[in-house]
Structure formats: C-alpha cells, structure tokens
C-alpha cells in the first residue's frame, strides 16, 4: 500500500473498532514507508515559530505573517522580515515588524543597528526586536534611542503552564506505524457476518454517491480516521511491536465487486496489521515573553524534524501546536505522553 495519503473519503464509519487480542505476537523489525511531508521554510527557526504563535494569540483580528516581504520605499525591492503584523486602526493600516534572533549570547548593539538600518526605508511603522538570550545593556539603550521595542525573555514562573508537561522530565512523542498484512470483507449472512478474504485491489464503492475505489485505498482512509488514531493510541500504548486484527464497521451503503463482476453489499472490513510504536523524548524550554507564558521544543524525533510551541492564552488555558518536517499536525493528547495525529505510515 502506498505511503501517501489517500484522497478517497470513506463513508460513515463506526468509532467501535474491534481488536482480536489473541492475534498479538512479537515481530521482527521491518521497514515502513513514511509519508512525504513539505520541508520547513529555510529561514524559519524554532524561536521564530514561538514568537509567531504568541503574536497570533495576541493580535486577534490582525494579519500575522511569517517570513513576510516588505517593499523598500526607494528601490521598490523587497526585504524578508521574520514576522509582520498588520492591523487596521481607524482608516489606516499599521505595520508592526518583528525580527528574531536565536543565539547563545545576548543581542548586541551591532544587531540593533543592523535591524534599525534595514527598516528605515521599509513600510514599517513599529519595529520590535526579540532575542532568545536577551540584550546587552548598551543594545537596550540604543534600541530605546531609536524607538525600537525590545522583548527579552523572562524566566518562567513556577506557577505557569509547565506543570502540564512536567518541569523535570521531557515530553515523550509516540509514533505508530501500521502495515496491513491481510484483508477480509464482511458480508451479512442472516444474523451473522461472514468474513471473505479479499485482495487489496478489490473494487469497493459507496452506493449513495457511486464513488468507487480499491479496497486498500478504503483501508488507508480508515487508518487516517480520528476514531482509529484515538483508539489505537490508547489500546496499543504499552505495545512496541505486535500483530493485531481490527474490524472497521461500515454503514450499509457499501458494496464490493466479486470476480464475476457482481456487486455485493458489505458491512465491514477486517484487517490484520503489523503495528510498531516508537517514542522520542522532546525537551521543552519554558520562557515568559512580554508577559506571556510560552515554551518551545525542537529536535529530530521518530516523527521527523519536530517543533512544538505552547502559548498561554488565558490563566489555565493553553494553545499547543506541533509540526513535523514543516507540516502542522494535531495533538491527540497533551501530558507526559503526546501522540500527534500524524499521517499513518503504511507499507
């Protein structure tokens, strides 16, 4: 089965997934095809992503764009700016430009001077400089002289959101890889259902909209479904390498084509899957920036190049985002273990 995401949309599928626990057995490692994702923009950094996340939370109703281009008033050429916030005040649009620097030492006068000179002829109404390691005192004085706003990070308080992920241990990310080994179609036979072995190329279709696809495309759409990801992350949380059988129940609007070219109504699909779970730690850096509690983490994990940002929206309310290889994903849970709702890898 191909590793890319199927464009075929399955019909209504019950969130009841049956696992045949007696089918579990240990597996030898096997190669799994991974989905191909889009790379992160080259100039973006983890800290810049966090600043972008914060601005999107604070600037409600405004346009917030990362790696935006601003036009030079004199030459007409465009310069890239880390983050640009555009807000309408009365009849006018105000452009706030944010430049970020992520290095091991505080920002100095040279960087402040460079950023000030860069924005002199750009359509920037207000310049904000953000440094992960803070600023040297002369740099702060120079920024104040030029009217530049500076955002040095503050040490996060002990009462902030870090208790959600744990201050003394890293967050653990889990990745599940599933490889279908065998497929069966289920058909009604009186009050029971019979399971018939079916090759992946078997044609299936939804009768209400007359949409046709192969059985392996249908199964892949099931593996992408939130109901499957949620239940698999719970039921297989303690397993590393197992073989499982699961049944996906469908509504009655499905049919399968037999080798005599006759369509038969099908009620479900049973799948034998090789399942492998891998985990990676992700160390979280907690800061407070311009009064906002936030955190970020960046590392190569079992998922790929992983970036996590968390921003406190209100006391006790947090917004968490995770991206893998530049593609935004949804977190299924947030706590000591987090399982991103990433594309299921199938081989």
Cβ 130 vs Cβ 99: under 8 Å: yes
| Mean of the per-residue pLDDT values of the chain | 75
Q: Is the pLDDT of residue 73 over 50?
A: yes
- Cα–Cα–Cα angle for 204, 206, 210, nearest 5°? 105
Question: Which DSSP helix (H) or strand (E) runs through 140?
Answer: helix 137-146
Any domain includes 248: no
| Domain count within the chain | 1
pLDDT at position 170, please?
60
Any domain includes 171: no
pTM: predicted TM-score of the whole model, two decimal places: 0.55
Q: If pLDDT is split at 50, 70 and 90, which confidence band does 338 have?
A: very low
pLDDT at position 152, please?
82
Distance CA 38, CA 326 (A): 6
Percent of the chain residues topping a pLDDT of 70? 75
Q: Supply 305's token pair.
A: 């190049």
Distances, alpha carbon 70 to alpha carbons 43, 118, 141, 143, 274, in Å: 16, 11, 26, 21, 51
Any domain includes 33: no
Any domain includes 317: no
Q: Which of 76-85, 144-153, 334-343 has the lowest mean pLDDT?
A: 334-343
Q: Is the pLDDT of residue 324 over 70?
A: yes
Cβ 107 vs Cβ 97: under 8 Å: no
Q: Is the pLDDT of residue 32 over 70?
A: no
Mean pLDDT, to the nearest integer, of 221-230? Answer: 80
Place of tokens 């790929």: 304
Q: Supply 170's token pair.
A: 């890293």
pLDDT at position 327, please?
81
Q: Which long-range contacts (CB under 8 A, 24 or more apart) does 209-217 make?
A: 211/8, 211/9, 213/6, 213/8, 215/183, 215/185, 215/256, 215/269, 216/1, 216/180, 216/183, 217/6, 217/8
Q: Which of 145-154, 167-176, 204-213, 297-306 has the lowest mean pLDDT?
A: 167-176
Any domain includes 144: yes
Any domain includes 87: yes
Any domain includes 347: no
- Cα–Cα–Cα angle for 322, 325, 328, nearest 5°? 35
Here the CATH number for the domain that contains residue 139 is 3.40.1350.10
Domain span holding position 119: 46-153
Q: What are phi and psi of 58, to 5 degrees?
A: -85, -35
CA within 13 Å, CB half, 83: 24
Any domain includes 311: no
Q: Is the pLDDT of residue 246 over 60?
A: yes
Distance CA 320, CA 309 (A): 6
């Amino acid at each position: 089965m191909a590793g890319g995401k199927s464009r075929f949309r399955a019909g209504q599928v019950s969130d009841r997934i049956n696992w045949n626990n007696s089918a579990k057995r240990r597996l030898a490692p096997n190669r799994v095809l991974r989905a191909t994702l889009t790379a992160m923009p080259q100039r973006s950094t983890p800290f810049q992503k966090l600043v972008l996340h914060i601005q999107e939370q604070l600037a409600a109703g405004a346009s917030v764009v990362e790696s935006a281009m601003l036009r030079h008033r004199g030459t007409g050429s465009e310069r890239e700016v880390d983050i640009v916030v555009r807000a309408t005040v009365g009849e006018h649009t105000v452009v706030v430009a944010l430049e970020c620097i992520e290095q091991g030492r505080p920002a100095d006068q040279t960087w402040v001077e460079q950023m000030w000179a860069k924005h002199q002829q750009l359509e920037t109404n207000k310049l904000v400089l953000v440094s992960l390691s803070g600023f040297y005192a002369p740099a702060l004085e120079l920024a104040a002289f030029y009217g530049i706003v500076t955002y040095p990070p503050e040490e996060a308080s002990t009462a902030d959101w870090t208790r959600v992920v744990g201050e003394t241990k890293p967050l653990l990310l889990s990745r599940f890889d599933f490889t279908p080994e065998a497929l069966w179609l289920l058909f009604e036979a009186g009050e029971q259902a019979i399971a018939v072995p079916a090759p992946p190329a078997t044609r299936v279709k939804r009768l209400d909209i007359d949409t046709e696809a192969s059985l392996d495309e249908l199964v892949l759409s099931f593996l992408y479904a939130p109901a499957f990801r949620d239940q698999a992350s719970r039921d297989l949380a303690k397993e590393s390498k197992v073989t499982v059988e699961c049944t996906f129940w469908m509504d009655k609007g499905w049919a399968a084509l037999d080798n005599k070219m006759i369509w038969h109504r099908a009620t479900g699909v049973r799948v034998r899957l090789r399942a492998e779970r891998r985990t990676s730690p992700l160390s979280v850096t907690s800061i407070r920036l311009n009064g906002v509690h936030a955190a970020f983490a960046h590392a190569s994990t079992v998922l790929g190049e992983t970036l996590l940002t968390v921003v406190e929206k209100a006391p006790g309310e947090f917004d968490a985002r995770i991206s893998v290889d530049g593609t935004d994903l949804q977190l299924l849970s947030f706590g000591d273990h987090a399982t991103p709702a990433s594309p299921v890898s199938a081989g």
